[in-house]
Amino acid sequence: MARLRDYWPRLTGALRALLFWSLVYGYCGLCASIHLLKLLWSIGRGPGQTFQRLVRENPPACLNDPSLGTHCYVRIKDSGLRFHYVAAGERGKPLMLLLHGFPEFWYSWRHQLREFKSEYRVVALDLRGYGETDAPSHQESYKLDCIVVDIKDILDSLGYSKCVLVGHDWGGMIAWLIAICYPELVTKLVVINFPHPNVFTEYILWHPSQVIKSGYYFFFQMPWFPEFMFTINDFKALKHLFTSQSTGIGQKGCRLTAEDLEAYIYVFSQPGALTGPINHYRNIFSCLPLKYHQVTTPTLLLWGERDAFMDVEMAEVTRIYVKSHFRLTILSEASHWLQQDQPDIVNKLIWTFLKEEMRKNE
C-alpha cells in the first residue's frame, strides 16, 4: 500500500495527461472530418470553383495609406528575424504597441493608428510569421516563449524600456504573457476579447460550449490541411470570418469595405503566408497552463458580447488574476473583431482608461 501511495501522484498525472491529449487529438480528428465533408460538398457542387484562386500581385491602395503611418522594419539580434511594423506619431513620445490576432495583421489597428498618434508613438506590429515579418520554417519556432521574447527584444530595438501594450485575440494572449513575465515593460495593459490564459485553459477543457467555439484550435493541430481549407473557393473561409452573420461584424458595426477585405486576402494569399500564423496555434497545448499567472499591471479588458469564439463568462473570471486596477467593459452589440467593429467606442474607452491612470499617478 505504501508503494502504491508513492506512485499514485505520478499515475494520476499520467492519466490526466492521457485524457488531455486524447481530447486534443480526438477533437482534432472530429474537426478534420467535418472540414473534409465540407470540402467534398464544395467539390460536388463545383470542382472548378472550389480550386479557383485569383492571383494577387499588387497590394490594395489602403495598405499604403500615408494617414496610417510609416512602414518600418527592425531586425532582432538574437533571433535574426526581421519584423515589419507600421508606426504613427512622433518619435520620443510614449510608446503604444499593438499586437494583432488571427487571421489579422497590422492593418486591423488602422483606426487606433490614426486615433492615438497625437499623444503616442503608435506601433502596429506584424507578429512572427505574419505579413512582411519573417516566418521561420520550423513549427517549434512559434512557441509562446519565443513570441514573448520577440516583443521584449522589439521594445529594446525601438529604443523603449516600457510601453502601453494593447492586444487583441491571439495578440491578447501574448499581451497577457508579457505583463506576467515582464511586468516592468508594461505601464498599462489593454486586452481585447481574450481572457487571462489560465481562464482560457480551464474553459477550453471543461466547458463544452467553449470547446466547440475553439474548434479551430484543435483543427489547426493538423499539418497542411488547415492552410489548404482556407484557400478553397478563393479564400471563402477568410471572407466568411469577417462578413458572415455568425462570426463577422454585425449590422451595427463598422463593417469592412471591399478594399479592407481585399487587404486581408492579399496578405494571406501570398505563398506560405498561412503556415506561420497557424503554427502559433500548433504549439499552444504544450505551453499552457502557466506556472506564473498574476498580473500586477493596471488592466483594461474590452469584450464584444457577440464574440463567436470566446464565451463572455471568461471575461469576468479574469478579474481574479489581476492584482492591480482592473476595468472590464462588455459591449453588447459588438463582435469578436471589436477594435474594427466599434472603433470609436473602443478608442474612447482606451482614452478614458489611460487618462484615469495618468491622474492617479500625478
pLDDT of residue 217: 87
pLDDT of residue 211: 84
pLDDT of residue 214: 86
In a domain, 328, yes or no: yes
Domain enclosing residue 328, as ranges = 17-42+49-356
In a domain, 62, yes or no: yes
In a domain, 291, yes or no: yes
- Is pLDDT above 90 for 182? yes
pLDDT of residue 78: 83
In a domain, 12, yes or no: no
pLDDT of residue 215: 87
- Is pLDDT above 80 for 35? yes
Among the listed residues 35, 84, 280, 336, the single catalytic one is: 336
In a domain, 10, yes or no: no
Could you tell me which residue, 189 or 28, shows the higher pLDDT?
189
The pLDDT-based confidence of 21 (bands split at 50, 70, 90) is: low
Retrieve residue 97's grid coordinates: 504597441
The question of whether 234 is a catalytic residue gets the answer: no
In a domain, 361, yes or no: no
Q: What CATH number does residue 295 fall under? A: 3.40.50.1820
pLDDT of residue 302: 98
- Is pLDDT above 90 for 123? yes
In a domain, 264, yes or no: yes
Among the listed residues 126, 134, 169, 311, the single catalytic one is: 169
Cβ(165)–Cβ(192) below 8 Å: no
- Residues 251-289: tens digit of each pLDDT: 888 999 999 999 999 999 999 999 999 999 998 877 666
Retrieve residue 175's grid coordinates: 499581451
Give the ranges where the chain is alpha helix by DSSP (H). Answer: 2-45, 47-50, 110-116, 144-157, 170-181, 197-206, 208-213, 215-219, 225-243, 258-268, 275-281, 313-317, 338-341, 343-361
Q: 60, 20, 45: which is closest to 265 by C-alpha?
A: 60
Residues 184-213: what's their mean pLDDT? 91
In a domain, 352, yes or no: yes
The question of whether 169 is a catalytic residue gets the answer: yes
Contacts of 231 (CB under 8 A, 6+ apart): 53, 269, 274
- Residues 296-332: tens digit of each pLDDT: 999 999 999 999 999 999 999 999 999 999 999 999 9
Among the listed residues 281, 307, 311, 321, the single catalytic one is: 281
- Is pLDDT above 80 for 179? yes
Residues 16-36: what's their mean pLDDT? 75
The question of whether 307 is a catalytic residue gets the answer: no
Q: How many domains does the chain have?
A: 1
